[in-house]
Structure 1
Amino acid sequence: MDDTAPTGALSSRILDHRTAALAADAARLLAETRARRPRVHALTNAAAQAFTANLLLAAGAIPSLTIAAEEAGHFARRADAVLVNLGTLDAERRAGIPVAVAAAREAGRPLVLDPVFVEASPPRLAVARELLAQGPAIVRLNPGELEALGGRAPTPETAAALARADGLVVALTGATDVVTDGVRSLRIGNGHPLMARVTAMGCAGSALVAAFAALEPDRVTAAAAALLVLGVAGEIAGARAVGPGSFPAAYLDALDALCEADLVSHARVS
């Protein structure tokens, strides 16, 4: 470290180092996903199933989607990671989720929780809290969901407190994404407004978080790298799409073609 460097120059160097490091990790994990093809079993909501499967395939991973209680454990056990999404918490999913979670824990597979709309439904919030007690590796949520689970305003500090309390990584998505384990934190400023106008975009993104968690033991790195990949792909797709109708196809094409140079040139990390 150059002790004579101006404060602004030092801050810029630290920012550049974080950006370069996460871009390199994201490129490495994307390459490993394409080479190793991790299997993600996603118990996700009905509206998100098809796009979730297509996003995983575009990234190089292998999806499975059954929610039936008699099958969910078998699929979870043979997967490399498991995603639980509470978007459509119907009776079949309520029965299948605990079976899959138990199988994932028994097999030592990382579990990612996406507590969709827990702020809208006390029964759903209760299910999410039960799942938090099962030790998920990563929780990916938005500000409303964080406020419901954290019990206070959805700030980065609330995300860090939830991460510390439950011994997990919180990936808080928004205009700027925040990934924290309560000690370390990263902020990712990538994305495009059309991502918020297409259903299942965030839900499918949680599946990529799970795919990276299957390959990377550092959960902060896994979650942050996945969000960077998702955000950069969104920016590239947004420049090509003419609206929300063409955006999903452009997004899958961008993700399929994404390379390290794209990540390095677009990444905004602090």
Structure 2
Amino acid sequence: MARTYPTAEQAADLLDRVREKRPRVHCLMNTVVQKFTADGITVIGAIPSMTSSSDEIADFVSKADVLTINLGTLDAERRNVIERAVDIANDAGKPWILDPVHCDYSPSRLEFARTLIARRPKVVRGNRAEMALIGSLGDIVSIETGATDRITDGGRTVTVRNGHCWMAQVTGTGCLSGGVIAAFLAAELDALAAATAALAATGLAAEQAAACARGPGSFGVAFLDTLSALAPEALREGARIDHDD
């Protein structure tokens, strides 16, 4: 049977479905980028929640459609809460995504990331250095971010060529994109297709924002504006998605 690959048409359809469904995304996000990530999830059409309280995590994850975990600003309490959240998500069959932030800096963080990956997230997203240490993930969707984003599920490999260099100069754009991937994952069972559509959407919004921004500071604000206003038609025409076959 021929493999099917994500397309710009599918990305546009998924953007519509996210806005119609308005999925709840619970974020265990590093403290530096919580507001920016929450704003990005909100403007794309989903509903974020951000608590990492051990007293509340069960209630919030139970009510969410999808969970996103970011290993930035990691400490012992956050590790415990993350493990509980993964237990709850897995028991309920809820999809979750992992961003192993700076696992290339810390052996203990890398070990924790590998422990979490053994519990089968739908998506693992990181930069080249992080993903090189994580290694092959088999059929778990892995994303290596950079000037272009490479997404694979072990059988299919896709490259998204949308984006702008200012994304690397605004803290939190990668974390925000992880939240958007989670929102798309709540609306699409094919995790490769969901991740591809989300990265095309955030990348195209970044291109549009850069066209009207004066530099990284104004770009961050414009990025939220363009992500909010992003039309499915623009994504259909502007998504640059390639695949290996």
User: Given the two structures, how large is their TM-score scaled by the length of structure 2?
Assistant: 0.94
Q: Does 1:149 align with 2:121?
A: no
Counterparts of 1:110-129 in structure 2, within 5 Å, are 110-129=95-114
Aligned to 1:94: 79
Answering whether residue 240 of structure 2 is matched by residue 255 of structure 1, we say no
Residue 31 of structure 1, CA deviation: 1.0
- Cα distance between partner residues in 2 of 1:73 and 1:134: 18
Q: Provide the secondary structure at the position in 2 that maps to 1:215.
A: coil
The structure that has the greater radius of gyration is 1
**1:262 to partner: Cα distance:** 1.5
Matched position secondary structure for 1:54: helix
The alpha-carbon deviation at position 266 of structure 1 amounts to 2.0
Runs of 4+ in structure 1 deviating by more than 2 angstroms, as ranges, are none
User: Are 1:183 and 2:155 an aligned pair?
Assistant: yes
CA distance in 2, matches of 1:59, 1:22: 19
Residues in 1 aligned to 2:168 and 2:237: alpha-carbon distance in whole angstroms: 23
* Cross-structure match for 1:9: none
1:16-56: CA deviation from partner (whole Å, max 9, x where unpaired):
x97xx621111111111111100000001001100110000
Q: How does 1:98-109 map to 2 (within 5 A)?
A: 98-109=83-94
Corresponding position of 2:196: 224
In structure 1, runs of 5+ residues without a counterpart are 1-16, 151-161
Separation in 2 of the partners of 1:93 and 1:22?
37
Aligned position for 2:137: 163
1:80 partner letter: D
Q: Which residue of 2 is the match for residue 49 of structure 1?
A: 34
Q: Distance in 1 between matches of 2:19 and 2:179?
A: 15
| Bigger Cα displacement from structure 2, 209-218 vs 87-96 | 87-96
Paired position in structure 1 for 2:239: 267
Report the alpha carbon displacement of residue 260 of structure 1 after superposing the two structures with TM. 2.1
Shift of 1:71: 1.3
State the match for 1:37 in structure 2. 22
Q: Unpaired segments of 5 or more residues in structure 2? A: none
**Percent sequence identity over matched residues?**
47
* Length, aligned pairs only: 239
Once structures 1 and 2 are overlaid, which stretch shifts more, 209-218 or 260-269? Answer: 260-269
How big is the shift at 1:264? 2.7
Note the alpha carbon deviations across 1:127-169, whole angstroms, 9 max, x for none: 101100111000011101011211xxxxxxxxxxx231xx310
SS in 1 for 2:68: strand
Q: Which of 204, 207, 211 lines up with 1:239 in the alignment?
A: 211
